[in-house]
Structure 1
Amino acid sequence: MAENLEITITNEQGRLDKVLADRLSNYSRSQIQQWVKDGQVLLNGQKVKGNYKVRPNDHLIVRIPEDKPLEINACDIPIEIVYQDQDVAVVNKPQGMVVHPSQGHPTHTLVNALLFYLDHLSAINGVIRPGIVHRIDKDTSGLLMIAKNDSSHTSLAQQLQEKTILREYTALVHGNIKHQKGTVTAPIGRSHTDRKMQDVVDNGKHAVTHFSVIERFTNFTLIKLQLETGRTHQIRVHMKYIGYPIAGDPVYGPKKTLASNGQFLHAGTIGFTHPTSGKRLTFEASLPENFKKTLAKLREPIDFFNE
């Protein structure tokens, strides 16, 4: 069924199609451009061109067409498999890769690659998300657990529910955090102004994020974060909420930020109890090269910005 989505522009700047692509991360920019051409996007009640420069308080109505059935195929897309046995796998997802297919990203996802490289995947989450126990955002890099059978999937999901999974992230945030460590406890739910975004809201779900400072720069801070809960966009929302948004974040961060293809957020450590052996396993993945290069630049005398 087609869906009408209402969006109010707040502090976004730039072309309408780009702003919508940033907001509606489940859909590609080319797809959104086609909606604009087809008159599926109304600006203050009128049809508009994709190159229109948005203004604060612009009111948009986006008519999202009815979903078409997805065909999920195996694709030979190179991925880093950190570990695998007959029950589980751990993969290092690159920045820019969507975890599972959707209408906006029907192929070239992590699931398409998993179907090609792994011999079995659990079926608990259906044909769209085989083996997927948890997710990280498209523009977040790092480690994911993959279940290769249903019993392993059930075990890993239970560990997530019981909060015994170790999930540590590294992030670069705007601002200079003065204290060495802290905890953010604030409920997260769907934004009241944009249903595709998350926000700290009174009726949201309980969410807890712990962080500690690794290194300070003039205008940025490198931090380590540990999730106690796993809400959608939790780290990105919580860091924005306390005034230190993640650098490069196109949705929750400022526009004047470091040059990147997405937020500087990396899921570098994951630990869990093996579903069959009962052995505790912990895996680590180093920062991606663009993250390392950015840190090297920040360590130079003059910080740099993407004007």
Structure 2
Amino acid sequence: MNAIITATELASELAKPAPPVLLDVRYQLGGPPGRPEYAAGHLPGAVYVDLDDELAGSPGPAGRHPLPDLDVFAKAMRTAGVRADRPVVVYDGGQGWAAARAWWLLCWSGHPDVRVLDGGLAAWRASGGTLSTAQPTPPPGDFTPAPGALPLLTADDAAALARRGVLLDARAGERYRGEVEPIDRVAGHIPGAVSAPTTENVAEGGTVFRAASELAERFAAVGATPDAEVGVYCGSGVSAAHQVLALAVAGVPAALYVGSWSEWSADPSRPVATGPQPG
């Protein structure tokens, strides 16, 4: 099963007797809440899911977007109509990072059929898809999370993987090098990690994923191949989920360090590397 779906493919599936459940996960770091944008227009039948409240726990020592409480996550998914025997398609209004976080959580917690709308809301509208302001009330779902279907890294796991495998830092290059740090306590990267910004997963100037062959070539250049042990982190485990998704499109399984730099850098005892090299 491909991890992404085009707008044209989605339109075809929505016309079937048993269409996929649609989740709208619009979110912007530091920006306005996504719910008003959802209310102003969303894919017909889509249910809004709040990243901060339903796809992450409270910020703290474990990072800015730690794993959510499983009961909270399960309730949100069932309220949205998510069922174990029905496909799910998630989308957002921009970079695809928030949608990827929802994709990763659902896959990690055992849902067998989850895809991200490639290009998100913009791709849907560009394909001629309509929007709705109706607030759907789907029948309650039956999804029960069973964590562990995708690999997950702790801080210590990430440090060890950086030594024996390939740990990708999905943040912007200047943050990796330690030149700037707009959010977290200290600038730099996990020693041994390799810079691979999430923004390079998509076609230049857009939000649609590059071709699978291009992604495979891109990741191979930094050592992330199907036979390597690969992990990813970012600032708080959101854009890194997009990297894990891009790696899946390229045929490379990867683990996610959810706490990411926001957890790593909060502990003064953890080492920090700077500069363009892994260190």
Instruction: Please give the TM-score of this superposition, normalised by the length of structure 2.
Output: 0.28
Greater RCO (Cα-Cα under 8 Å, separation 6 or more): 2
Larger Rg: 1
Structure 1 length as normaliser, TM-score?
A: 0.27
Report the structure, 1 or 2, having the larger strand content: 1
